[in-house]
Amino acid sequence: MPISAYLRNLRAKVGHDLLFMPGVTAVVLNEAGQVLLQQRSDNGEWSLVSGVMDPGEEPADAIVREVWEETALHVVPERITGLYTGEDFLVRYANGDVVLYLDITFACRPVNGEPPRVNDDESIDVRYFPLDGLPSMKQFHLTRLADALRNEPHARFKFDGQEGGGGH
């Protein structure tokens, strides 16, 4: 997996210690109502397309970039469907790096009818799947997909406080 110059520089200073990183995920639905998934090259698992934001990059721009880099699809982010972090987003990489992601998930639509294709070394396969024929995926991917499919005007987020909050 490629690593940005920013992250490489940061890792040179902190080693493998925990980093808190902003990430983005796309729930891309085509006109047939199928969802775009990638089979990751690092672990062979199927997942939603995701990636890390670069310093100074807007989240919506980051998801457009990530989807293009991994699938050669142009997408338009339509809304934020959820904000996620926690144990499911704590990753210990094989090289010893530890990252806790804050994930911003977007519902996106493709802007052309082109089929997706593997466009970099982060994927083994990329394709659309019907919602009733999804491959095996980790639950946190299924949760983000379900949140996007609810098509609600507000994003899902957790709120453990005693007052107010619009989370679920």
Residue 53 included in any domain: yes
pLDDT, block means (10 residues), the chain with 168 residues: 84 96 97 96 94 95 97 97 94 93 97 92 96 96 96 88 51
Q: What pLDDT score was predicted for residue 1?
A: 57
pTM of this structure = 0.91
Pairwise CA distance, residues 47 & 127, whole Å: 11
Residue 156 included in any domain: no
The domain total for the chain is 1
Class of residue 102 by CB neighbours under 10 A (exposed 0-12, middle 13-18, buried 19+): middle
Q: What pLDDT score was predicted for residue 4?
A: 84
Domain that holds residue 83: 5-147
Residue 118 included in any domain: yes
Domain harbouring 122, CATH code? 3.90.79.10
